[in-house]
Each structure stands twice: as C-alpha cells, then as structure tokens.
Structure 1
Amino acid sequence: MSEKKKNTSNFNLGSNWIYIILILFLVGMTLFGRSSGFTEGKDLSSIAFNEILNDNDIDKVLILNNSRAEIYIKEDAIKAKEKYTKIVKNPFYRKGSPLYEYNFGDLQNFENKIEKAREKYNLSLDYQYKERTSILDTILGFLPFILLIAIWLFFMRRMSGGGSGAGGGGQIFNIGKSRAKLFDENTKVKTTFKNVAGLEGAKEEVQEIVDFLKNPDKYTKLGGKIPKGALLVGPPGTGKTLLAKAVAGEAGVPFFSLSGSDFVEMFVGVGASRVRDLFKQAKQKSPSIIFIDEIDAIGRARGKNSMTGSNDERENTLNQLLTEMDGFGTDTNVIVLAATNRAEILDKALMRAGRFDRQIYVDLPDLHERKEIFDVHIKPLKLAEDVKLDFLAQQTPGFSGADIANLCNEAALIAARNDKSAIHHQDFMDAVDRIVGGLEKKNKVITPKEKKVIAYHEAGHATVSWMLKYAAPLVKVTIVPRGQSLGAAWYLPEERKIVQTEQMLDEMCATMGGRAAEKLIFDKISTGALSDLEKVTKQARAMVTVYGLNDEVGNVTYYDSSGNDSFVKPYSEETAKTIDKEISKIIEGQYQRAIEILDLHKDKLDILAQKLLEKEVIFKDDLVEIFGKRPFEKDEKISDELNSITEE
C-alpha cells in the first residue's frame, strides 16, 4: 500500500497551471491569428494595390472597422496568374478567405480611389463595410483587470497559508476551515506510552483519558461523565507534546492536532470560524481527541491587552472556543487536550471545571526519571563500556527531557569529532560542560597575571565548598575559558525537595569563596565575580522576601504567584529599607565566613591554585590528595564513581 502511495503522481491542476495555460493561449493568439481569415492574408503596398485594381483582378473589397481592407481575388485571375496561385497553394490558406490585406489610411481617399478606377477601367468590383471585433483585442482590453485579480488571488493564497492545511485552508474560499492535522487509521502515530520515559503521574492521568474513550460505558453506567478537557502544564522541553503524541498512538481514535497560532489570522472572524469547523469535524468522527499545542496563543486572559490598541480578534477566537467546549453534550465523546508552559496567563473561564476538568503538571524530571530518559535516548547510540548513566543522571539536575536528548546528541558529535569508534563517558561529561558552560576557548588570550587571579578565584570556590557540610560535592575545576566565563567549577548538587536555612547559607558562602580568595591573596577584588554576586543576591533576596527565612523581616512572604504585583511593591518604604539591610547583612556575613575559612587553609589554597595553573583542569581526587577526605561526606555509591573520573 505504501509503495503505491509513493508512486502516485503528485500532479495537481491548481491555479499555477491555469496561469500557464492562459499565458500560452495569449501567445498562441498573437502568433497564429489576430482574427478569423487574416492569418492567410498578405499585406499590400500602395503600388501593388493600384496594380491589382487596374488589372480588374479584384472581386470584392471588405472594409473592416473603417481602417483596413480585405482583398478578395476573382477565381479566373487566381487560376491564370502565378502570383495568386502561389498564395492559394500555401497550406495555411483557407478557401474563400481574402488573399490580401491593405491598410488604406484615410477612408474617404480610399473610396475616391476605387470610384475613379471603376469609372476609368470599367471595373466590376464591389466593396462592403463591416465591423469586426478581435478576440485578442477584447482580451487585451480586459488584461489589466485580469492581472489585478491574479495578483490579488496570489497574495490571498500566500496570506492564508500557501495552499497547505487541512480542508483546503490555503485557498481563499476555504480560509475559515480548520487547519488541524488528522491522525486516524490511515495515518497512525507510532509513539506510545512506552516511548515516554518518566512522567509517571502525568502518564497515569492521560492513560485514564484514553480509557474513557475506549470504554466509556465503564464510567457512564455509574453515573459519571467523561471529562471534556485536560491541560498539560509545565516548563519547556518536559514532554507535553510527546505525551499528546503518545495519547494519539494509544487511543486508536481520530486525533486532531494543531497549534494555537493556527487559529490566528489577519482576517476578522477567521479564528472563530476555524474553531467551529474543528469541533464540527471532531463531532463527525466521534469519539475523538483534539490537541491544541501552545494554547496560550489564543487563551490569554481577556481584557488585559486593551491598552495596546490591538483588535479583539484573539478574544473572539477564545470566546468561540469557550462556547464549543461547554456547548456539546457529554455523549459526543470529544476530549480536548491542550499544552502550555504559561498557565498563569490563561483566561480563568478556560481553566474552570467543565472545560479543562483536569490540569496535569508535567514537571522537570527527578533523578530516577532522568535515568529512564537517558535509557531511551542512548538506544540508537554506540556506547563504550565506561559510560555510567547513574552518574550522568546525577550530573544533570534541572535538565528537561529535551535537554537530555540534546546532551546525548552532543556527546555523539564530540566522539565523532575525535574519531572515536564509540561514545565514552568523558564524551558525555564534555557534552555537559559544553551545554552548561559553553564552548571551550583555549585560544583566548589571557595574561599570566589574569590567569593567576582566575586560578585563585576558582581554587577559592573549591576550597570553601570542600570545607562546608551542605555545599555540593566538587566534580572538577578548570581555568580554561568556556563561553563567557574565564573559569568554572562543576559540582554534584544533592536533589532536595525542601531547602533549609543552613543549606542556603553554605551554598552562598561557597559562591563567595572566589571573591574572598582574591581579597585574601591579592588584597584586591576584580569584576570576575559578577555572576557569583548575582547568584547570591538572588538567593539572599529569596530568603528574606519569599521564603520568610529572616528573623528581622519575620515569617512573611512578598511573593505573588499570580504575577499581579509586577508594578506595585507589596511593602512600605520602611520595610524596603529593612529588606535591603538584611540582604546586605546575609551576603557580607557569608563573605567574611569564606575569608575565615580560606585564611585557615591558606597553605592548601596555594597548593591547589598552583596545581590549577599547572594542569588547568583538576578533579576530586586532587582535592582529596590536598585536603584529605571530607569528614561529613555521605557514604554513597556516587562517591566511588566520582573517584573513578580522574582525567578529562
């Protein structure tokens, strides 16, 4: 069946072919005939006409439009004279047609000339008058209007999608049709829930929706109603669209897929019309599923854009969607799935029960889920035996499923670039460095003095984090420029569901270790700690204003999850001064703490910095050799794996 589809001709007699045929017709008319009978004629000069006229060879003169004459020759003259016989024998000559054409100029002079010759030579010729309209002249008269219409149609096609889209959405007369792509038994989706790693809670929710459609009686016989909609919410790259594809593959019912932007058009009323057409098609193929990706394109809260001067076409589209979702009965078995990563801006009427009955939060994967995602993405890769997926899962906190897919691909590219026959563990580590830190720039010009400052800065981070209980364990430190940074330290953060005050303070102290080392060794500070200062300022502000972890401000939060306080401070000026004072106190306190730690271990800090200047990259083993084992390090399997990574 698929072979037949491949061999099927894609020829389509669209408007482009109509334009080509029209042009060929105009060219043909120009070349082969200005009017009937003229193609065989031959233009006469004034002398040649006088000669034929005086010889009395003319049978009839037909004056057309008072400007041109067709000359008909007598039959006996045609047979007797060779010059006429040649024309008659021409294959293009049609019997009964004029042999010549004569442009006589002024009509009155031409008539006088014929009358004089008739009297002088006793001629028997006759002349008649006739009005004749040329088809080509008519077409040429309307040609400007034809061109204007053709140009208008062309631009309408372009603006309405260039001929693509379901239901002929590319044609101007079908612009209000839905552009949803239909997946049914003829276009089966191969993605199933087995292809979706992690997302156990979300999968359980959507599997139940699939079961609603497959076995509706199981739920309705108890008096329950099938849900009308489910909204997938979560950060970008977490697998919302992939989950919808899996639903399409598992459900075995018609699945309409489109983006929220497919409803948006420059023409008034088109969005609402497409919503109506989409739900009409879905009802006809019931039971079915409608999936609207990036629904925030049309589902934004109404009334908030009135100051921008934009029209309300998007609101009309949303109103129609609200009506359709709450308009059809529960027995139609049409379920609407939607996905967005901006749920906070959606209209409240869209989020209420009865429309989107369920909101499924698709969060960033945890450690176990990242391991499952790695298992999926490494299947097509050729891996070496030293690849440790458990360690990679721990080394990628905050990575989404899309980030992990990109990491696996980047590792394969790095291995291929180095002419390896398989992808090694170090290739994955280099890929993490590449994604998190940026491209390595070994050719960047750095003076020895700057390099020494960078080495002590990074050694300061490593030393302070090594000596603090709640700081993340170090993986490696480098002074090779990467991306916008001149040096970097990589840690293995612990996955925490909640964070205590001591843990945040230790992390801030380790972050300030770089600037503290510069102050302690050189008695000067540089601009290299900008990203560190930005990080600790955000953490300190969050401690004071968000999490209520400051004794002076108290157990109060000024965080508004709805985002409605963006233009108004929810506290007084006096409180603002207190907040600023407490933020500064926290940061300066951790800065002094970092200086004290480094002063206590200054000799070891020097050894570490010199080793960094010598090797440019050091690992955990080097710190164990210099500082000894951390007394509070947890006895975990991952510690042994960290010890095994000793070279880049």
Structure 2
Amino acid sequence: MSTNDKNKKSNNSFNPMWIYAIVGFLLIGFWLFTSSMGGEVKKLDRGTFFEYLKEGHIKTVRLNLEEHKVDVFLTDEALKLDQFKHFKKENSNMTAFAQAGPQYSFIVADNANFETEIEKAIQENKLKTAYTNIPPDEFGKMFWNILFWIILFGLLWYFMFRRIGGAGGGPGGQIFNIGKSRAKLFDENDKIKVTFKDVAGLEGAKEEVEEIVEFLKNPEKFTVLGGKIPKGALLVGPPGTGKTLLAKAVAGEANVPFFSLSGSDFVEMFVGVGASRVRDLFKNAKDKAPAIIFIDEIDAIGRARGKNNFTGGNDERENTLNQLLTEMDGFGTDTNVIVLAATNRADILDKALMRAGRFDRLIHVDLPELGERKEIFEVHLKPLKLGEDVDSEFLAKQTPGFSGADIANVCNEAALVAARKNKNKIERQDFLDAVDRIIGGLEKKNKLIKPKEKRRIAYHEAGHATIGWLLPHAAPLVKVTIVPRGKSLGAAWYLPEERQITTTEQMLDEIAATMGGRAAEEVVFGDISTGALSDLERVTKQASAMVSIYGLNDKIGNISYYDSTGQSEYGMSKPYSEETAKTIDAEVSKIIESQYDRAKNLLNEYRPQLDQLADKLLEKEVIFREDLVEIFGERIFEDDESIEPPGNAVSTLNTNPSDTIVVGEEPVEKND
C-alpha cells in the first residue's frame, strides 16, 4: 500500500468523537422537545380547581407524589367552551404528543389530604374524573445520575489520557501507544527545501554524506564488487557547525523515507518506554526500507554505560542504549536502513556504539576555515540587500573561530543594525558593528564611571595593547575601547593567527599580553584591582594546560594527564600523586609570575608610549591599529599576509571570546 493510500485510509477512519457528538445532540433535542410538549400550562388555585371538578370540566387529575404537583387535564367538551377555547387554539398547532399535556397545574402542601379530598369530591358528585398518582422514580433518578458520571468520566478520559498520550505516545494518540516512536517521517511527499547546495563549506563531511545518499539511490554500484552499505555514520563537531543542517540536506536529497528525532525523545518516566520506542522506530524504518534514521544529540542515550553509577545510575537509559545496539547490529539486521547521528560529545559515547558495524563512519564537522567561512557568508548574504563595500572575503578574515551558526547570526544582526539606522542597504560597518555586538555586548555609553576609575581602565587596556604590540607571537591588536559594553568596563580585541599547533613561546607571549593590564596598573598606580578577573582565569587555564596536558614544562617533562575518553570526569581521584600536584601548582605559578614580571619590565621600558596610549584612550575612548602604529611604529615581526588592516579606521573584533581582555568588577560573559 502506498503512502498516499495509507494517508487516505487514516483520514477516512471513523473518529469515536462523532459518537459523543451524536449522543449529545440527541439528548439536547430530546430535552428541548419534551420541555415544549403540551403547550403552555397555566397556574390554577385550589378553590377554582374544585369548582371545575364539580362542574365536570376535568377529565384527569394526576398527582406527582415526589414534586407535590397536580396536573389537570380538561375534557373534550370543556375545551369547546368559550372560557377554555384558547387551549383548543394552541392544541391545533401541536402534535399528538403535545395534546396529551395538561392545561393546568398547581402545588399542594400535603399529598394525603389532597388525595382524601379529591376522592371524596368524585364520590359525592358521582364524577367520571380519573385520578392517578406518580410515585417517586428512584430507578430513573439513579439511572440519570449514573449516566451523568459515565459521560463525565468518559470526557475526562478522552481529553486527559488520550491527549496526553497523543503528545507522547505517537500514532493513535492514546496512552497505550506511549511506547511508539516519536520520529517525524519525511518521505517523497514532503517538500524539503534544504539540499547540499545550501550547505557551504564542510567539503570533506559533505562528500562522505553525499556518498551515503548515493548508496541508497544506486546500491548496485557498490554491492556488485562485494561491498556492503555502511550501517551508520556519526557526525561529530562543536555546536553550530552544521551537523543538523547536513542531516536536513540528506533528507532533501535522498528521496527515501527519512525518520528524524532527538536522543531525548527516547527518554520517558515510564520504565521500558525507551527500548519500546527504539523497537518501534526500527520496525517502521524496516517496513519502508531503504530508509534513513537521524538521531540528533545521541549522547542523551548513548553515554557510556556504568560510568556514573555513584549517582544512582539510570537503568532505563542503559536499557534504551542496549536496544539501540541490538537493532543496529544484531541478528536479522539485513535490511537497508542507515542510521545517521549527531553529537558534540563523542568522547562520552559508549564504545560499543562507536565500533565498526554500527557507526562505520565517524565524520568530523569542524569549525570552518577561511575559505569555508567565505562560502558560508556568501550563502547567508544572498537574501540581504548589500552595499557595494561588503566583501565576503573581508568578513571571513574578520571572523576566525566562528561557526556556521555564528556567521548566520552576524548576517542577521547586521541587517538589524542597518534597519536601526534607517538605511536602505547593509554596509561593511554594519557587519563590523554586528560582530562587536555579538562578541562584546551592547554599548552602555550612559553608564556612569568615576574619572579615577576611568583612568585606571584606560591604563589597563593600554597595558594589554602595549604588550601585545611589542611581543612577536602575541595576536595583533585591532581595537581598544574603554566604553562599557555588556558586563565589561573596557576591552581589547585582537585578530589571532589561524594556526593548528602552538609553540611554547607563543603561549608564553599570550600569557604576558593577557597579564599586561594588571601589570600596567601596578607600574602606574603602585597597586592592583579586581578588574583582572577574566585575565587571571584565562592565564591560569593556559598555564595549567602547558604543564599538565601539553607537556611544555621542563620539570614535569613530557607527560600528559589529559584523558580523551572522558572517564576521568567520573573519577574521584587524580591521575597523579600529591607530590606531583604540588609540583604542578608551583610550575603554573612560576609561569604566570615570570610572564607578569616580563610584562612589567616591558611597560617600564616603554612607559612614555604607555602614557601616550592611555591619554589617547581617555580622549577618544576608542582607538584602532593606526593609533598604535603612530605611537610605536610598525611591527617589524608582523606577517602582513596574516591580517588585512581595516580601511578608514574601521573597527574589527577578535572572534575568540576568551581572548577579550576586560577590566572592571565583572568579567565578560564568555561563550564557549
């Protein structure tokens, strides 16, 4: 049966809610019909009733013992009289049921006394009037009460259990289907607009994913040589690099059923639900094979088993993982189903999940390089109205370390900046302002700062700029500001060199440049402040990494205590002795203090230039690379090809938030 036939069948299936609707309409109609039977019933006093009774105008008297109500029915002869002719006129427009209704009614206080009186009056006057009474209907009352509660609980069952089950139980929407898969199915009837053309950069990752699509479209090309189609591919990379975008492109290109869901969709409070959903997911995929299953954030269920049992463990998650392992590579797994998964925490995934035969391919989706960033900018710049000075290559050079999501955010923020300025086109400066806004936060020019504090901030930032300009391996400075932005009171931005490895000398120069702010405070004012918090945090991490991870310390030697498997996260002990821990602490402190002294010596040597730079900062609040060239001269050890100086004194930013130097009571909020 085709997908269209299944959709038609599901659309034409009977909805049980129609039964509730029909029963409700019948009850309402019956109530309205019976409430109007008999026309208008007039009130009658007791004395007039007995007069009509003695005159022989009353055919039937009916007493409702429960309601103490007397219904009076007139004879046909009485209805012909002038005083009762209005009843005849009303009855002419009614049905036979309505004609049986009473013409008069009244209430009695005592049923027994009324019965005695009417029986006596009938006997004394020898009347043909019939007298009846209606006893209390206990069964009917009980029946309607039971029916009311049945209907109430039925509605509660439907709206609570059925709807809640529908939200978490998959097809059918009932609580008994809570073990059904939550995967969203995309097939040939769904028009997915994302294709591989929309995925800029990521050439290596895109090539491998495209090959998976080719496996499904033309399997004979590969199986004719005896090869087997890979069972799974794991996309690994930092957040925002395009892993989910690649999966969307696969869904748009494959032309096969594509099941998409998140790892958290398997997690539920009920025991056994996760494993049941895995079974249902693969069953549906096998029924539609060839098909692709995409599990985003697979680390939600794929975390290594038995690593965090000290917190009580999570047997339900482990059961879900075990079922996933069985479905991916167990007995009977000969169907043409490929599993794609994405995570940025591959180090914590279970080894059994990572082995060949389950995820045959590990595809790294790294941060884009310069050329890839240019391609990504060109994709996101297409829908924008750009000025003539906007160049994708220039923007790519100003954004090292940016992911694809960051670049998309820059383009959107630039459009908002231009719109805020009532421009018709987005210009280069708008993009640079957007980068400023994303990295440093919004400018707070109205924030009040005392002149004494502002002078300290100026010297702090001038210290960073001076040391960074004088050291050969420090990143070239581009912009310094003492305008409060975000949580910072001042900041210095650099354009770091894009390199794959870092030497000891480069790291030491970076530490010295980072400590230049506090060193300038001590050199000029003779004391230090709390404004170097983020500086100290950064250099402590760098120095610790040099000693205990990268093996760049002579005393510790070529030893690394870094655990790439992530298992040390759950350990309560260090991988080294207490004596080694003391040595590490001493060497970290030695590195930081030596570079701090080095920065102070440089600042004392170039004190006049430091004062000029601080005065210019106090005067202009924002200075650029050209101002440092005017004071210090050109950097003779700078590689001119590694940086393109911005023209017309345009500001640029360091795209690594951890490189932002801050002074003030609070550090810049870092974006890892």
Q: Same fold (TM over 0.5)?
A: yes
**Is 1:535 equivalent to 2:554 in the alignment?**
no
Hey, what does 1:125 align to over in structure 2? 129
Deviation at 1:222, TM superposition (A): 2.4
Match of 2:165 among 160, 176, 187: 160
Hey, what does 1:76 align to over in structure 2? 77
1:492-535 deviation per Cα after TM superposition (whole angstroms, max 9, x unaligned):
11111111101100111111111111111111211111111111
Match of 2:99 among 95, 101, 112: 95
Matches within 5 A, 1:39-50: 41-42=41-42, 44-50=44-50
1:538-573 deviation per Cα after TM superposition (whole angstroms, max 9, x unaligned):
100000011111011111111112232233211111
**Is 1:630 equivalent to 2:635 in the alignment?**
yes
Hey, what does 1:115 align to over in structure 2? 119
Deviation at 1:395, TM superposition (A): 2.3
Deviation at 1:323, TM superposition (A): 2.9
Contact 1:165 1:181 in 2 (8 A): no
Contact 2:170 2:177 in 1 (8 A): no
What is the DSSP-based 3-state SS (H/G/I as helix, E as strand, rest coil) of the residue aligned with 2:568?
Answer: coil
Contact 2:166 2:172 in 1 (8 A): no
Deviation at 1:428, TM superposition (A): 1.4
Matches within 5 A, 1:535-614: 535-566=538-569, 567-614=572-619
Provide the rounded CA distance (Å) in 2 between the counterparts of 1:40 and 1:263.
65
Provide the rounded CA distance (Å) in 2 between the counterparts of 1:417 and 1:262.
40
Match of 1:460 among 457, 463, 468: 463
Contact 2:179 2:277 in 1 (8 A): yes
Provide the rounded CA distance (Å) in 1 between the counterparts of 2:313 and 2:82.
83
Deviation at 1:387, TM superposition (A): 2.4
Contact 1:513 1:595 in 2 (8 A): yes
Question: Which is worse superposed, 285-294 or 239-248?
Answer: 285-294
What is the DSSP-based 3-state SS (H/G/I as helix, E as strand, rest coil) of the residue aligned with 2:567?
Answer: coil
1:30-52 deviation per Cα after TM superposition (whole angstroms, max 9, x unaligned):
55536x95676555543343233
Contact 1:166 1:181 in 2 (8 A): no
| Equivalent residue letter for 2:83 | E
Provide the rounded CA distance (Å) in 1 between the counterparts of 2:117 and 2:348.
90
Question: Which is worse superposed, 470-479 or 42-51?
Answer: 42-51
Match of 1:256 among 255, 259, 264: 259
Hey, what does 1:143 align to over in structure 2? 148
What is the DSSP-based 3-state SS (H/G/I as helix, E as strand, rest coil) of the residue aligned with 2:191?
Answer: coil
Provide the rounded CA distance (Å) in 1 between the counterparts of 2:258 and 2:184.
8
What is the DSSP-based 3-state SS (H/G/I as helix, E as strand, rest coil) of the residue aligned with 1:33?
Answer: helix
TM-score, normalised by the number of residues in structure 1: 0.90
Question: Which is worse superposed, 60-69 or 248-257?
Answer: 60-69
Question: Which is worse superposed, 25-34 or 76-85?
Answer: 25-34
Change (3 A) 1:146 1:449: same
Match of 2:440 among 437, 440, 449: 437
Hey, what does 2:527 align to over in structure 1? 524
| Equivalent residue letter for 1:203 | K
| Equivalent residue letter for 1:529 | A
1:374-406 deviation per Cα after TM superposition (whole angstroms, max 9, x unaligned):
111111122222224333223222211101100
Change (3 A) 1:45 1:19: farther
Provide the rounded CA distance (Å) in 2 between the counterparts of 1:400 and 1:317.
32
Match of 1:474 among 474, 477, 492: 477
Deviation at 1:21, TM superposition (A): 7.2
| Equivalent residue letter for 2:617 | L
Deviation at 1:16, TM superposition (A): 8.2
Match of 1:616 among 616, 621, 635: 621
Provide the rounded CA distance (Å) in 2 between the counterparts of 1:111 and 1:309.
79
Contact 1:299 1:318 in 2 (8 A): yes
Provide the rounded CA distance (Å) in 2 between the counterparts of 1:322 and 1:106.
82
RMSD: 3.0
What is the DSSP-based 3-state SS (H/G/I as helix, E as strand, rest coil) of the residue aligned with 1:338?
Answer: strand
Match of 2:493 among 485, 490, 494: 490
Q: Please, which runs of 5 or more residues in structure 1 have no aligned partner?
A: 1-9
Question: Which is worse superposed, 17-26 or 597-606?
Answer: 17-26
| Equivalent residue letter for 1:631 | I
Provide the rounded CA distance (Å) in 1 between the counterparts of 2:278 and 2:195.
28
Provide the rounded CA distance (Å) in 2 between the counterparts of 1:440 and 1:184.
48
Change (3 A) 1:643 1:301: closer
Question: Which is worse superposed, 303-312 or 564-573?
Answer: 303-312
Deviation at 1:267, TM superposition (A): 4.0
| Equivalent residue letter for 1:354 | G
Contact 1:66 1:129 in 2 (8 A): no
Change (3 A) 1:554 1:179: same
What is the DSSP-based 3-state SS (H/G/I as helix, E as strand, rest coil) of the residue aligned with 1:332?
Answer: coil
Contact 1:37 1:98 in 2 (8 A): no
Deviation at 1:191, TM superposition (A): 1.0
Matches within 5 A, 1:342-491: 342-491=345-494
Change (3 A) 1:102 1:267: farther
TM-score, normalised by the number of residues in structure 2: 0.86
Change (3 A) 1:43 1:147: farther
Deviation at 1:292, TM superposition (A): 1.6
Provide the rounded CA distance (Å) in 2 between the counterparts of 1:87 and 1:299.
84
Provide the rounded CA distance (Å) in 2 between the counterparts of 1:470 and 1:277.
57
What is the DSSP-based 3-state SS (H/G/I as helix, E as strand, rest coil) of the residue aligned with 2:300?
Answer: helix
Hey, what does 2:304 align to over in structure 1? 301
Provide the rounded CA distance (Å) in 1 between the counterparts of 2:365 and 2:109.
87
| Equivalent residue letter for 1:542 | A
**Structure with more contact order per residue of length (Cα contacts < 8 Å, sep ≥ 6):** 2
**Is 1:511 equivalent to 2:522 in the alignment?**
no
Provide the rounded CA distance (Å) in 1 between the counterparts of 2:105 and 2:259.
68
1:134-193 deviation per Cα after TM superposition (whole angstroms, max 9, x unaligned):
98984444324432342343232453355x986344x44544433322222211212111
Provide the rounded CA distance (Å) in 2 between the counterparts of 1:221 and 1:382.
51
**Is 1:185 equivalent to 2:188 in the alignment?**
yes
Change (3 A) 1:18 1:412: farther
Hey, what does 1:285 align to over in structure 2? 288
| Equivalent residue letter for 1:607 | Q
Deviation at 1:197, TM superposition (A): 1.0
The percent of aligned pairs where both chains have the same amino acid is 66
Provide the rounded CA distance (Å) in 2 between the counterparts of 1:43 and 1:265.
65
| Equivalent residue letter for 1:393 | A
Provide the rounded CA distance (Å) in 2 between the counterparts of 1:306 and 1:105.
78
Provide the rounded CA distance (Å) in 1 between the counterparts of 2:169 and 2:185.
10
Q: Please, which runs of 5 or more residues in structure 2 have no aligned partner?
A: 1-10, 652-672
